[in-house]
Amino acid sequence: MSAVAQTSKPSQSLLNDKWDVVISNTLVKTGLGFGCGVVASVLFFKRRAFPVWLGVGFGAGRGYAEGDAIFRNSDAGIRSVKA
């Protein structure tokens, strides 16, 4: 087997690596948005629910946007993924 065949990954493996990064990134950003929403709700908004939902929405939206950029192989202000 040649050295080129050993170092290259099949496209399915690359796609799986990208999905792993996108899903974990989205979960982390959504969790951070949830946490910030809870803190804002408790400190500033008398324990209302809208800051929590707003934080979750911002986190999920940012995770989606970064995932889209990862799949498009774009450098839109995000970290690069070596998948």
Report pLDDT for 47. 87
Could you tell me the end-to-end alpha-carbon distance of the chain, in angstroms, rounded to an integer? 23
Backbone angles phi, psi at 8, to 5 degrees: -85, 145
Long-range contacts of 49-54 (CB under 8 A, 24+ apart): none
Please say if the pLDDT value at position 80 is more than 80.
no
Average pLDDT of the residues in 75-82? 59
SS3 of residue 68 by DSSP: helix
Q: How is 18-44 classified by DSSP, letter by letter? A: HHHHHHHHHHHHHHHHHHHHHHHHHHH
In this predicted model, what pLDDT tens digit does every residue of 18-68 receive, in sequence order?
888 889 999 999 999 999 999 999 999 888 899 999 999 999 999 999 998
